[in-house]
Amino acid sequence: MGVDIKELVEPVAREVELNLLTGKAVAIDAYNSLYQFLATIRQKDGTPLMDAQGNITSHLNGLFYRTINYVENGIRPVYVFDGKPPEVKLRELERRQQVKAEAEKRYLEALERGDLEEARIYAQQTSRLTSSMVEDAKKLLTYMGIPFVQAPSEGEAQAAFMTRRGDVWASGSQDYDSLLFGSVRLVRNLAITGKRKLPRKEVYVEVKPEVVELEELLSFHGITREQLVVIGILVGTDYNPGGVKGYGVKKALKLVKELGDPVKVFKAIPWEFETPPDVIMQLFLEPEVTENYSLQWREPDKEKVIKFLVDEHQFSINRVENALERLEKAYKTFFKQASLESWFGF
DNA sequence: CGCGGGAA
DNA sequence: TTCCCGCGG
């Protein structure tokens, strides 16, 4: 779910045009993307897209076409996959499983009643990303020539680390967690077709990519990154869901600015979580990450993509070939730079 | 969500 | 050319 510091971020969030991102590498939160595809790419009654064997393919559909759109806009995507969650998060993950089980019941009930709109809403909430779906996504990326990084733990932490090393320009996610992990820059709403339907409403709004600079966020509020993490913990993170009773963004910011030192803040408030606050602080300030990755955007292997999507998962050959044509063209335009090595024949 | 065919 | 909307797997 992520930390809800929208109010804090909004004043420094800049709407940008997509072409601002041309030539930039972005570390995209793979789980965040795949979940969104899984939740939204569905039929009227909420059934996801599936191949002939009944395997879900909604995530592949979204990943394939959106990634091509990135490349066509000169964006260099690198997908970052979550690894093993910190133990502190296990309770929250368990809670989410329960919410999904509940949604599953309501989904079936709505179907029974023939209420397709309700059914779809609950179906979306049942979305589960299985390991085979993740493997499929990685396969597809490999065939497309798009790099991915397997994070040892939190993907958002890994993406943040990559921005700090300067390997990517920004992290890309709908959640704000990467800012707590120290991401230099966050891009939200990184979709190409800008119209999005508001939940439960027949209203569509234009959504443009939104860039948040960590330094700007901190200086705007006159706080340090440590203090931002404290605010996050007060309002609630995946490591202390719900946050501290009575604290929203405004009250948390006020307290943090009054007391300054995180230790003083945590002494001043009631702490009802099992995990001590300093342990959670450390998870954000010194998360487990890896330097063991290399970012290379390669020419797409069209044959393998077609074999995978069309032969194995029953995608339409026409659509896939069309999209691959676009991908190859974009690859040549933006990524196939005449490097010194190639000039000298290395 | 994003594609693409048909309407305008 | 742009917009809309039904379908994709």
Q: What is the pLDDT of residues A66-86, one digit of tens each?
A: 999 999 999 999 999 999 999
Q: Which nucleotides of B are covered by protein (CB under 7 A)?
A: 1-5
Helix axes of A277-285 and A225-235: crossing angle, nearest 10 degrees: 130
Cβ neighbours of residue A196 closer than 8 Å, sequence gap 6 or more: A204, A205, A207
Q: What is the pLDDT of residues A110-143, one digit of tens each?
A: 999 999 999 999 999 999 999 999 999 999 999 9
Please measure the distance between the N-terminal and C-terminal CA atoms of chain A and give it in whole angstroms: 46
Q: Looking up tokens 């996504």, which residue turns up?
A: A137
Look over chain A and give the mean of its residue pLDDT values, rounded to a whole number. Answer: 94
Tokens of residue A137, six digits = 């996504």
For the segment A312-338, the average pLDDT, to the nearest whole number, is: 95
Quote the pLDDT of residue A144: 98
User: Is the CB of A208 within 7 Å of strand B?
Assistant: no
Q: How many Å from the CA of A332 to C1' of B6?
A: 33
Q: What is the pLDDT of residues A200-213, one digit of tens each?
A: 555 667 789 999 99
Strand ranges for chain A from DSSP E: 14-15, 25-29, 76-81, 148-150, 170-172, 185-188, 195-197, 204-206, 210-213
Percent of chain A with pLDDT over 70: 94
Quote the pLDDT of residue A195: 62
Quote the pLDDT of residue A192: 77
User: Is the CB of A262 within 7 Å of strand B?
Assistant: no
User: Is the CB of A316 within 7 Å of strand C?
Assistant: yes
Question: In this structure, are residues A26 and A271 in contact, taking their beta carbons and an 8 Å threshold?
Answer: no
Quote the pLDDT of residue A340: 43
* Residue A29, marked binder: yes
Structural domains of chain A, ranges and CATH numbers in brackets: 222-285 (1.10.150.20)
Cβ neighbours of residue A184 closer than 8 Å, sequence gap 6 or more: A160, A163, A164, A170, A213, A214, A215
Round the CA-based radius of gyration of chain A to a whole number and report it: 21
* Residue A175, marked binder: yes
Q: How many Å from the CA of A28 to C1' of B8?
A: 39
* Residue A45, marked binder: no
Quote the pLDDT of residue A1: 75
Res. A194: pLDDT tops 80: no
Q: How many Å from the CA of A307 to C1' of B8?
A: 39
Number of H helices, E strands in chain A: 16, 9
User: Is the CB of A21 within 7 Å of strand B?
Assistant: no
Q: How many Å from the CA of A91 to C1' of C2?
A: 50
CA of A204: nucleotide with nearest C1': C4
